Structure 1
């Protein structure tokens, strides 16, 4: 190396490096381009206030996970005669949480019309006052029960208030109306649900008890060559940071945490009849993704909500928590989204790329409206995730591109080559309501709505 000594910079220095002027002229003082990690002083060691978060570990598993499953299995094998258990599932007043309760029917329901309406105490689910708490459960979609097995069922329900009007968090009703209006275009959706696994103490599942796993990006080495900073991987020298890391689609006990949960959830979805399309480990350790679709119209929301219910129930058996928080860990870690793939019949046919481009132009004109619809808090949750980093676009800007995972809208490269297919909206947060997302996309791209909706106070404009 022409007599110049290469110095490997520590991981602490790497964390504070300032990436400026890397490819410019030689630097008079290369040390300006990274900050040295200070040695802990005696004062710090003696108990000075440490700004790093303190993580107190109690137990990564819940008490229910310690119960003997073999004892449970003995009872689950008992015959139940002609009776059938039907579990009613609904979205609670948070717009994110799910609730359920079970009743006995005299015979197996063959269709949704065979499942009677029911009611529940809305004052205990943030949906009503105690003085007028009865809420109606209206069955809308029937699935097989993978926990108690056939002939038992799971049924997804809409929630109506005492006057039989939709509850505030029942977004399915308006979505269904929009899908009926757009039925002629045959809108298809596929949603990629990302989630993170946590212990009961809310510490990421599988992470070190008092620290963090290795970085999600390839650990690079800084070297000073010819008084300039360059980056070197285990591959040829590059001047751009690499997003590559060991966890995405990883294999091995040191790279993925919780695969048993993922595989059990996958099988539960298949048994239930959920249109699950696949699954993979994500960029952040203990973060996973499953895909649901393609589904036409209202079925997208029905199947994704049921897949979420099954995920939470499987995690319950393992004593682990699945969170849909869009940014469960601050710092240099990926957030969690629910990328939504969309197409109409015209987009899927020959020459469909033109229709895709027209739809993207419409989306760009209503960016702020879609941001408000893409998380339960009107954009506040997504503002922590859509920063322009970690494979996201900026929440304040609309962008589109072919094979660009840092854009608001991505057109898959194969679609660009074929001239038809679908596009991916990468803005929805992991905790979005799929009814709200699919309704918004359909309103803009199919029904050609252009009027902006008023911004509620406290929401991201």
Structure 2
């Protein structure tokens, strides 16, 4: 197992708070500690050195920590709004801060803003201004108080959505009366991998080497099996604080890999909540000195990839007789398999191999309780005759605006020809 020399931020804060009467480090103590550092002490001693430095009430780190935790609420009505948007790769999150004169409750109370799109790969240098439209607000777990995180989408100065603005098209689909009448619910399972900073190798893995084979790591406990729990727990609580509809978290099959679930969320809200949760996770891993990866197959070979399984249901699916509605939805999804695969995340072909709890990227399949299918239906859904389906194809780096709106479009708005429908039903053994 690789050694992480610096204790986590949570551990540093725990030590600092539990030692209110810690003795300031004198010049002799500093000299002694620095001398020990020059003697090339073990990694454990290096970690102790950092902890001792943080214990000092007069240290620069403690003064900075005090300012970061400063509650400005009693002294001003002004708040800090962190405007967040999706960058030019379609998966990177960017943000910047501005002061707002008073607390707000709705995105419509916030001003539009702009950024340099030429620096994010979203505009040319000679016409670089991109406009941010505030769309969703969350409480800021990093600054606290009345400060907020603001999910935005991006437009040209003329008001046209830029190519990486997938939220705009999703909002159009979710505002369709047919879609609204069906009240689409989503539960999204976001998997991610934690990497060591300098070597970009999974957390807890020997540098340049491999741990024991998969089996003991899924939902595990123990220093030799679970790597990054503090990050997962910090993220869980931060999301709850922010108002994100996070519903759970667990360690995944590959060591150093985790998952959290968001939902059930209705319509466009699902995408807003996933993007906000990803931003918070990026900030927490930044503080912990760990790299967040959403690569769908971070380690080649006999290791699970990282997906973003999307559970989906409509009002008709959740009511009596819903299983037949689910079958019709599966039929439509089979006929648009290529369209969905092309929109379900970059590099997904390295993950969807037919192994490691995936279906082949080239073949559409469905089954009850079968995690090796494109679409899985739960045993309870089959038994109750109503419920939801799970689309297991989306990659961990998928855009939730694209995936959720495409599921709604394919199952609620798109109609196949009668010939195609009959052929697909025969092929999938569906009676609809």
| Same fold per superposition (TM over 0.5) | yes
Residue 140 (structure 1) aligned with residue 135 (structure 2): yes
Residue 399 (structure 1) aligned with residue 340 (structure 2): no
Aligned residue for 1:82?
A: 77
Structure number with higher helix proportion: 2
Aligned residue for 1:72?
A: 64
Quick check: 1:141–1:302 contact (8 Å CA) kept in 2?
yes
Aligned residue for 1:164?
A: 159
The Cα offsets for residues 220-249 of structure 1, whole Å up to 9 and x where unpaired, read as xxxxxxxxxxxxxxxxxxxxxxxxx10111
C-alpha separation in 1, matches of 2:382 and 2:3: 51
Quick check: 1:312–1:322 contact (8 Å CA) kept in 2?
yes
Aligned residue for 1:92?
A: 87
C-alpha separation in 1, matches of 2:248 and 2:386: 23
Question: TM-score under structure 2 normalisation?
Answer: 0.81
Equivalent of 1:332, from 297, 302, 305?
A: 302
C-alpha separation in 1, matches of 2:342 and 2:3: 37
Distance 1:79 1:282, change over 3 A: closer
Quick check: 2:305–2:356 contact (8 Å CA) kept in 1?
yes
The Cα offsets for residues 414-436 of structure 1, whole Å up to 9 and x where unpaired, read as 11111110010000000000011
Superposed counterparts of 1:302-341, under 5 Å: 302-341=272-311
Equivalent of 1:204, from 202, 205, 209?
A: 202
Q: Which runs of 5+ in 2 are unaligned?
A: 13-49, 55-59, 421-432
Residue 179 (structure 1) aligned with residue 174 (structure 2): yes
Which protein, 1 or 2, shows the higher relative CO under an 8 Å CA cutoff with sep ≥ 6?
1
C-alpha separation in 1, matches of 2:5 and 2:163: 35
C-alpha separation in 2, matches of 1:345 and 1:351: 11
C-alpha separation in 2, matches of 1:345 and 1:120: 40
The Cα offsets for residues 53-106 of structure 1, whole Å up to 9 and x where unpaired, read as xxxx99887999989753332113434322211000000010000000001111
C-alpha separation in 1, matches of 2:171 and 2:61: 40
C-alpha separation in 1, matches of 2:87 and 2:212: 37
Distance 1:77 1:335, change over 3 A: closer
CA-based RMSD of the aligned residues comes to 2.1
C-alpha separation in 2, matches of 1:103 and 1:295: 29
Residue 192 (structure 1) aligned with residue 195 (structure 2): no
Aligned residue for 1:423?
A: 389
Quick check: 2:343–2:402 contact (8 Å CA) kept in 1?
yes
Q: How many residues get paired? A: 364
C-alpha separation in 2, matches of 1:109 and 1:173: 23
What's the secondary structure of 1:446's corresponding residue? helix
C-alpha separation in 2, matches of 1:330 and 1:63: 28
Distance 1:69 1:305, change over 3 A: farther
Residue 269 (structure 1) aligned with residue 265 (structure 2): no
Aligned residue for 1:411?
A: 377
Quick check: 1:62–1:320 contact (8 Å CA) kept in 2?
no
Distance 1:383 1:105, change over 3 A: same
What's the secondary structure of 2:175's corresponding residue? helix
The Cα offsets for residues 116-161 of structure 1, whole Å up to 9 and x where unpaired, read as 1100000111101111111101000000000000210000001002
Q: CA deviation at 1:110?
A: 2.0
Quick check: 1:352–1:419 contact (8 Å CA) kept in 2?
yes
Distance 1:263 1:63, change over 3 A: closer
Q: CA deviation at 1:322?
A: 1.1
Question: TM-score under structure 1 normalisation?
Answer: 0.76
Superposed counterparts of 1:27-38, under 5 Å: none
C-alpha separation in 1, matches of 2:229 and 2:61: 19
Superposed counterparts of 1:42-53, under 5 Å: none
Quick check: 1:118–1:138 contact (8 Å CA) kept in 2?
yes
Residue 257 (structure 1) aligned with residue 227 (structure 2): yes
Equivalent of 2:270, from 276, 287, 300?
A: 300
C-alpha separation in 2, matches of 1:58 and 1:256: 14
Superposed counterparts of 1:216-227, under 5 Å: 216=214
Quick check: 1:166–1:173 contact (8 Å CA) kept in 2?
yes
Quick check: 2:358–2:392 contact (8 Å CA) kept in 1?
yes
Residue 448 (structure 1) aligned with residue 418 (structure 2): no
C-alpha separation in 2, matches of 1:198 and 1:365: 38
Runs of 4+ in structure 1 deviating by more than 4 angstroms, as ranges, are: 57-69, 449-452
Quick check: 2:297–2:351 contact (8 Å CA) kept in 1?
yes
C-alpha separation in 2, matches of 1:73 and 1:303: 28
Residue 439 (structure 1) aligned with residue 405 (structure 2): yes
The Cα offsets for residues 160-194 of structure 1, whole Å up to 9 and x where unpaired, read as 02322101110000000001111011111111000
What's the secondary structure of 2:216's corresponding residue? coil
C-alpha separation in 1, matches of 2:229 and 2:394: 25
